[in-house]
Structure 1
Amino acid sequence: MTLTQFFTFSRHRRLRSTLFLRDLVRENSLSCNDLIYPLFVQEGVQSRTEVPSMPGVYQFTLDLLEEKIQELKNLGIKAILLFGIPSWKDELATSAYQSDGIVQRAIKHMKALHSDLIIITDTCICHYQTEGHCGIPINGGIDNDVSLDIHAKVAISQAEAGADILAPSSMMDGIVAYIRHALDESGYKDIPIMSYGIKYASSYYGPFRDAADNSPAFGDRRTYQMDPANCLEAFREAQSDIEEGADFLIIKPGLPYLDIIRDMRNSHHIPLVSYQVSSEYAQIKAAAQNGWINEKNTVLESMISMKRAGADLIVTYFAIDIARYLLEDNR
């Protein structure tokens, strides 16, 4: 006689007993269609510069892009998020919207190589503005409305170069409405906007400063990025961006803000994008290099957590690694 004869209970393990059963009842899955790969393009020739705090992440010159884009294509990754590192900066971020700017040239170059590649452009000015801010500094503060004018110029120049999707990331009030109007007036009504609508003033962005050379020269970004303590504010930001014409909504960072992704999924039907940011990447890399974790399993679990929370797409520096993992597992 055993204890189980005296009471009944559910046997949930029945559906976990074999690999095929687990696959059969899996609620969320990951594919290359879910991935967006961040790509950094710099001025120069025959140069591939590794980001010190992000092992395996590089800044590429234009002449080296063909090999990288072919690698993405071979792995089934269809979309990139493009960042530019210009050769010069000024107070009004002029190099951000020049027709021969680094991003504009990179778009044209990549489209000539692979016209079906989805190029999403980071539509911001922090990489190009002398003080490293996402808006124009005036009298010690960031002027919202002057910044909107500059961002509209950046948006039009990226659209003219051939960008498929624009991703305004400055968190200026009214940025989506302003860019949407500028695009429509210039004949680009069909270009979607992937808004960084919920972007927190996070300590998880540190290594990205190395990659994009955009550390603020004074102060910080807390007057325009969101307070990590706030949740209801995310609802207000999301609602504004959707009403202003956003086609996608980015939540950034990803893993520390899974609750926000779930809240947005429960409240809105717009496609959601989770951004697994630089420190999320760097922490996993560092722990794996020290032998403390299994990199593949940890990366894939972090991806599934974002999908489970409600993300449709994920921006991740691990995109190439993930694509390889998926190919290995399907063999």
Structure 2
Amino acid sequence: MNPVIRPRRLRTTPAMRRLVAETHIHPAQLILPVFVREDIAAPVPITAMPGVVQHTVDSLRRAAAEAAAAGLGGIMLFGIPATRDAIGSAATEADGILNLATRAVVAEVGEALVVQTDLCLDEFTDHGHCGVLDAHGGVDNDATLLRYRDMALAQAEAGSQLLGLSGMMDGQVAAVREALDAAGHTGTAILAYAAKYASAFYGPFREAVDSQLQGDRRTYQQDPANRIEGMREAGLDEAEGADVLMVKPAMSYLDVLADVAATAQVPVWAYQVSGEYAMIEAAAGNGWIDRDRAIRESVTGILRAGAGAVLTYWALELARSAAAEFGGHA
């Protein structure tokens, strides 16, 4: 046997494999999610997410500066207030932790990277849901849209360049876009968490934001069994004016990500969520897998499936390793 066609020719050396690689991880494709907490004097480690902390405003400034220096595409801010109530009042206060932190990060990094903010009520409510509750304890979609509009204005005025609508309320993109435009914030972009699933992989995030949630979010986040529905949600958000679409989580929904990326006329991103991070860190910590290879493989797979950018807690580490691999020219 003497086969003429030998695909292995393109796998012979590291240089050859790098030359023909179809997917590369570039720092500009990476977005670092960060948590900032109101009532702490020093960063607090998150036990379920080794290496990740709840920041003070001062430590957040330093993290943002590191992200900018590494060439990351952006930073996504999540706020943890000292007090919560039924409607998440702290989310719309000008001096609330998220809006205060946004102003600090914008002042620190300027235009070096895109400053993004999570627009959702779950961190701010005493019941932990992503919206306002009705008299029966369910999430009131339309009443929640009013709160989202107010949050959007507060975040835009604080300097956020891209608002991450993650609540999965029907009509949220249209409601926020209308409010922003009416207030003159026509240049503020919207990242729609278009296909966000009711996933078990959000577990460590609950610790990260000190979630007060009792029960689950299955009446508004998508059923993990549904693929076509993800396309429907993404199409609606794009039609309502979303500038970027998100699929979340990433690992278990690469088919949905590929579907959306194949048809959308706007950028499509994915979020490598806390549970994905924690699983790899835990397995590596036990010596069961090669940590560095697993991290790179997981993010490469998300990009290969069609994501134009990835929110990942390894963003800074990956950016630095990419720069080292390509001699500082990543």
Q: TM-score, normalised by structure 1?
A: 0.95
Aligned position for 1:71: 66
Read off the aligned partner of 1:306 and give its amino acid letter: I
Aligned position for 1:186: 183
Q: Separation in 2 of the partners of 1:308 and 1:77?
A: 19
Question: Secondary structure of the equivalent of 2:189?
Answer: coil
Aligned position for 1:142: 139
Query: For 1:174-198, what per-residue CA distance to the aligned partner results, in whole angstroms no more than 9, with x for missing partners?
Result: 0000000000000011111000010
Read off the aligned partner of 1:127 and give its amino acid letter: E
Change (3 A) 1:50 1:25: same
Aligned position for 2:233: 237
Q: Separation in 1 of the partners of 2:216 and 2:58?
A: 35
Q: Separation in 2 of the partners of 1:66 and 1:113?
A: 6
Read off the aligned partner of 1:34 and give its amino acid letter: Q
Q: Separation in 1 of the partners of 2:192 and 2:59?
A: 29
The 5-angstrom pairing of residues 76-115 of structure 1 reads: 76-115=71-110
Q: Separation in 1 of the partners of 2:126 and 2:40?
A: 24
Larger Rg: 1
Aligned position for 2:194: 197
Note if 1:324 corresponds to 2:323: no
**1:78, CA displacement in angstroms?**
3.6
Structure 1 window deviating more from structure 2 (252-261 vs 67-76): it is 67-76
Change (3 A) 1:50 1:61: same
Question: Secondary structure of the equivalent of 1:324?
Answer: helix
Q: Separation in 1 of the partners of 2:237 and 2:47?
A: 35
Preserved CA contact (<8 Å) 2:29 2:73: no
Structure 1 portions without partners, runs of 5+? none
Aligned position for 1:225: 221
Q: Separation in 2 of the partners of 1:329 and 1:202?
A: 34
**1:247, CA displacement in angstroms?**
0.6
**1:52, CA displacement in angstroms?**
1.1
Q: Which of 50, 58, 75 is the matching residue for 2:45?
A: 50
Read off the aligned partner of 1:109 and give its amino acid letter: A
Read off the aligned partner of 1:57 and give its amino acid letter: V
Note if 1:38 corresponds to 2:33: yes
Read off the aligned partner of 1:232 and give its amino acid letter: I
Structure 2 portions without partners, runs of 5+? none
Structure 1 window deviating more from structure 2 (116-125 vs 178-187): it is 116-125
Question: Secondary structure of the equivalent of 1:137?
Answer: coil
Aligned-residue Cα RMSD (Å) equals 1.2
Q: Separation in 1 of the partners of 2:148 and 2:103?
A: 20
Q: Separation in 2 of the partners of 1:179 and 1:67?
A: 31
Note if 1:274 corresponds to 2:297: no
Read off the aligned partner of 2:242 and give its amino acid letter: A
Work out the percentage of aligned pairs sharing the same amino acid. 43
Preserved CA contact (<8 Å) 1:45 1:62: no
Structure 1 window deviating more from structure 2 (63-72 vs 143-152): it is 63-72
Q: Separation in 1 of the partners of 2:83 and 2:221?
A: 26
Query: For 1:190-236, what per-residue CA distance to the aligned partner results, in whole angstroms no more than 9, with x for missing partners?
Result: 1110000100000000000000122413x310000000000111111
Preserved CA contact (<8 Å) 1:48 1:61: yes
